[in-house]
Structures are given as C-alpha cells and as structure tokens.
Amino acid sequence: IEDPNNFWVFFNVPIWDWILIIAGISSSLYIGITWYEINFTFLGYDFFLPEQVMRQGIPYPIDVVFGSILIVVLLEAVRRTIGVVVPIIILIFTGYAIFGKSIPIQILMHPGLTWNNFINNMYFPDIGIYGITLWIVSTVVFHFVLFGVLAQRIGLGQFFVDIATILAGRYTGGLAKVSVVSSAFFGTISGSSIANTVSTGSLTIPNMKRMGYPGHFAGGVEAAASAGGQITPPIMGAAAFVMAEFLEIPYSTVVIAAAVPALMHYV
C-alpha cells in the first residue's frame, strides 16, 4: 500500500525511477521531433534547429545534452537487467575512445574523441544506439520472441519434456539425457537460453535431483543444454538475425549453416 507521506514514492514507483523513465522517453522523442527543422518563437524567444541531417557531425549543445541523458539511462537499464559487469565494460571502452591520446602505451594510443563527437557517433547515425541492431531486434526478432513466449505459455515446454522422456528416459543416465533432448527441442522455438532453462529446467532439474543427481550437476547439465538454444534452428538467437543483416545473406542460409554446429553441441 502506497504511503501518502512518502514523497519519494509515487504510484508505488520510486521518484528516481520516474526521472529515468521521463529522461529515457524524452531523449528518444527528441530524435523524432527534431528530425525536421525547428523554427518558432515562444514567449519572445526564438528557437531554431536545422534539420537533423545538417546537425550530424556538428551537434548542437541540446543534442549533446539529450544524447548524454540517453546514454546514462541505457547504462542504468543494462545494470538493472544483467548486472554491473557490462556497464563497466562499456565505460572502459568509452573512456578509451575519449582519452585515447593520454594512454601511455603507444600501440594503444589514438587521437581520441571529444564528448561532442562521441555523442554525435552514438546518438545520430544508423551505426549508433538507433542503428541496425536495434532495428533488427524491434522489427524481426520481436516476432520470434513473441512466438517463443506463446509456445511456452501453451505448454510446449512440458510437451518437449514428455517427448524427450519417451526417447531418452529408458537409457542409462536417462534423466540427464531427457534434459539435453528437451532443451534441444525447445531451442527450435526459442533462441533465448534463459527461456529455455526456465521452461525445461523447471521440470528436469527437480526430477534429476529426486533421482540422486547432485544439484550442481543437474543445474550444469540444464544450463549447458539450454545454451545451445542460441544456435538451434530454425528460431535462433538475436545474433543470427544480426549476422544475416550485416552479411546481407538470407536468414535461411544462416539456419542451414547452424544445423551442424547445433547437432554437434547436443550429440
């Protein structure tokens, strides 16, 4: 229940989260709103921004402000999603890009970028934050992820475990093999290793533990088997779609090429 006396919580959401939400939305909307030339007068002040393509390479101060805000919001979003390691790596390489001329090792030294140039490269062109990777995830990968979630919700995870039990359950080490086979089946409809582990592992890990397998062994088998979902056709991880787009080849070509590595992973 929300405490009416707590100023720092609004609709059960901390105020700093609201700040991040507003900052992320506004910095993203800014790109679209300022795509064309802005020229108007408000309260006696003239506001003018040339169209965005004319500002690329020489960003205006307001461009740098919104670009910096977006990077901070994205770093926090990554930290909350997958932990602190990736943001630290991003910060290290960002520092390398900006302070390259100060590195004492000659082979690593480079002229460096100004913060304005860094924001220009990350915020505006189609090789930055709003580049091809985001386009693929939002237009192509989304549909496959949606299909995988739907398949999981209608019980295909249990179905794959049942089929795997029929195929491998009667052999020595059957429950561990059931985990591998069911993960392989689920990998065909979901390129997410996490979704694979949650769907099949929630069934196979308790069964393995009940049959005397150590917990760390059961978890290790399921994690290793589920990791193969990234390369198991026909629905693979997001990297496969990015690969197809960058190499300018049909996705079906990537699927065919991944068939043998996927088979080797599970066999």
Residue 230 has pLDDT above 90, yes or no: no
Interatomic CA distance for residues 262 and 243, integer angstroms: 17
pLDDT at site 24: 92
In angstroms, rounded to a whole number, what is the distance separating the alpha carbons of residues 107 and 41?
52
At residue 173, does pLDDT exceed 70? no
Q: What value does the CA radius of gyration of the chain take, rounded to a whole number of Å?
A: 24
The stretch 106-127 carries a mean pLDDT of 84
pLDDT at 232 over 50: yes
Percent with pLDDT over 90 in the chain: 13
Going by the DSSP 8-state scheme, the letter that residue 231 receives in this structure is G
Is there a contact between 175 and 204 (Cβ–Cβ < 8 Å)? yes
- Nearest residue to 50 via CA among 34, 61, 63, 65: 34
What pLDDT score does 87 carry? 93
DSSP string, 77-99: HHHHHH-SHHHHHHHHHHHHHHS
The mean of the pLDDT values for the chain is 81
Note the maximum CA span of the chain: 83
Lowest model confidence (mean pLDDT) among 68-82, 178-192, 211-225: 178-192
Which one is predicted more confidently, 199 or 7? Answer: 199
Of 68 and 137, more confident: 68
pLDDT digits (tens, 9 = 90+) for 235-257: 787 788 888 878 888 888 988 98
Q: At what angle do helices 238-247 and 251-266 cross, to 10 degrees?
A: 140
Say yes or no to pLDDT of 88 above 90.
yes
| Cα–Cα distance for residue pair 132/138, rounded to 1 Å | 10
pLDDT at 1: 46
* 183 neighbors 216 (Cβ within 8 angstroms): no
Integer CA distances (angstroms), 221 to 92, 149, 171, in order: 34, 23, 16
